Structures are given as C-alpha cells and as structure tokens.
C-alpha cells in the first residue's frame, strides 16, 4: 500500500486517521505543524500527503487558517517534494475555498469530517495507484 504523511494537529483526527489508514495497509507518518510537514516530507519520502489546512506554522504557535496552504506551496516549489500528491483535508469546500486549495498546488481535497471513509481511500488509490 502507500506511505502517507498525515499533516494534522488535532489529536482525535490523528488517532482516527492513523488507525483507519494502517488498518487498510498504509504506512503513516504524522507531522503536527507546517514546518514539520516540510521536514518529514523530505525524510519520509511519502507517496502522498494528507494536509490539514488549519495548522500551527511551528510547534509552539497557534493554528493559522492558511498554514496548510502555505506548507503546500512550499512543498510544491521544492524539486525534492514537488511531485508528491497533496490532498487537502478541510471543512471548507465551497467553490472559493476549492479555488484557493487548487491555487496553492493541492492535487485534490477531502471534506472533513471524512464520511464515508471510502471516499478518502479512493483518493489515496487514485493518487498513489
């Protein structure tokens, strides 16, 4: 299955997604802020990144609604990480949000809460297939 970097700061979401994705055979590494997303993407070499959009920029800062988009732009501008598909995890799925997500370089988005879970599994298969 796939090596997935989960960039998420909510402990409940981390627990749920890690448990469900590993149950389906995926190898998961977690980064809990935008800066560690960049570091872990280089070290772990994931086949896909699941990127929460509202993250702390660094470990000791409050969540920022644009930190996930900023991290995606940074990942997509670096030759080492540019080809890794990024799927935005967001509760904001209106057209203007989708445009911002695409403009930042995200390859897809997944609405939160994630129901049904199969929709996320299908996106993982699509982008790592």
What is the rounded distance in angstroms from the CA atom of residue 16 to the CA atom of residue 7? Answer: 13
**pLDDT tens digits, 61-92:** 888 889 999 999 999 999 999 999 999 999 88
CATH of domain 3-128: 3.40.50.2300
Is a pLDDT exceeding 90 seen at residue 58? no
**pLDDT tens digits, 113-123:** 888 889 999 99
Residues 8/36, Cβ–Cβ less than 8 Å: no
pTM of the prediction?
A: 0.95
All residues at 6 or more sequence positions from 91 whose CB lies less than 8 Å from its CB, including other chains: 111, 112, 113
Q: What is the CA radius of gyration of the chain?
A: 13
DSSP letters for 78-96: STTTTTS-EEEEES--SHH
Q: Which sequence spans correspond to the domains of the chain?
A: 3-128
């Amino acid at each position: 299955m796939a090596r997935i970097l989960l960039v998420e700061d909510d402990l409940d979401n981390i627990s749920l997604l890690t448990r469900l994705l590993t149950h389906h055979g995926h190898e998961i590494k977690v980064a809990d802020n935008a800066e560690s997303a960049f570091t872990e993407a280089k070290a772990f070499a994931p086949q896909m990144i699941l990127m929460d959009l509202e993250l702390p920029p660094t470990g000791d800062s409050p969540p920022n609604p644009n930190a996930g988009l900023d991290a995606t732009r940074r990942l997509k501008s670096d030759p080492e990480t540019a080809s890794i598909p990024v799927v935005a995890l967001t509760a904001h799925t209106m057209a203007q949000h989708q445009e911002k997500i695409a403009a930042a370089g995200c390859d897809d988005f997944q609405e939160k809460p994630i129901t049904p879970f199969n929709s996320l599994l299908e996106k993982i298969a699509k982008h790592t297939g």
